Amino acid sequence: MGKQKKTRNKEKDRLKPKKKEKKDPSALKEREVPQHPSCLFFQYNTQLGPPYHILVDTNFINFSIKAKLDLVQSMMDCLYAKCIPCITDCVMAEIEKLGQKYRVALRIAKDPRFERLPCTHKGTYADDCLVQRVTQHKCYIVATVDRDLKRRIRKIPGVPIMYISNHRYNIERMPDDYGAPRF
């Protein structure tokens, strides 16, 4: 009796025409990852090279002060090359908002050795500003100790991250071709 029911259901299924689902070609599949051009990966990223342009985050300056590190000199010690620290208007505004407690960080940020980068976007959220700039231009190293910002930047191919550990600067995801120190 059980076999007859199964065969009857199969026969009914065969008779019904199957409707094909219309798929939207612009919609991404769940497991589909957008492809990045190979020129963005380290061995092909020719924009990244000495003198290094390093985008500095607010908390990186603060932690450098706490660790008693000179920013420019420590960067050069880490990378064995000339380094140009860059500060965006958003990062500068964030330091200014922090007030009197961070006046030393503000004085360091206004150092003439630091290159100022103007921002053209709306808002003053520094993390979004840094991620946007790094996505557009692959010639920067990002200096930060912020975990969330590090996670966001790791998703962008071809962008090294500088961080502080053991009272010195270290670099993460730096290509071997550029002579970066390996620890």
Whether residue 123 lies inside any domain: the answer is yes
Upstream peptide bond of 51 is cis (omega within 30 degrees of 0): yes
**Whole-angstrom Cα distance, residue 149 to residue 59?**
11
% of the chain surpassing 90 pLDDT: 34
Q: Using 50, 70 and 90 to split pLDDT, how confident is the model at 138? A: confident
Return the structure tokens found at 129: 């500003």
Strand 52-56 to 140-143 pairing: parallel
- Which candidate, 81, 133, 92, 95, places its Cα nearest to that of 116? 92
- Which candidate, 167, 172, 162, 156, places its Cα nearest to that of 37? 156
Residue corresponding to tokens 């930060």: 144
Give residue-wise pLDDT tens across range 38-83: 555 545 566 677 888 999 999 999 999 999 999 999 999 988 889 9
Q: Is the pTM of this model over 0.85?
A: no
Length reported for the chain: 183
Whether residue 141 lies inside any domain: the answer is yes
Q: Using 50, 70 and 90 to split pLDDT, how confident is the model at 177? A: very low
Strand 52-56 to 168-172 pairing: unpaired
Q: Are 141 and 111 in contact (CB under 8 A)?
A: no
Classify residue 57 by its DSSP letter: P
Domain that residue 97 falls in: 53-176
Whether residue 25 lies inside any domain: the answer is no
Whether residue 68 lies inside any domain: the answer is yes
Q: Number of structural domains, the chain? A: 1
CATH number, domain with residue 83: 3.40.50.1010
- When pLDDT is averaged across residues 11-38 and rounded to a whole number, the result is 59
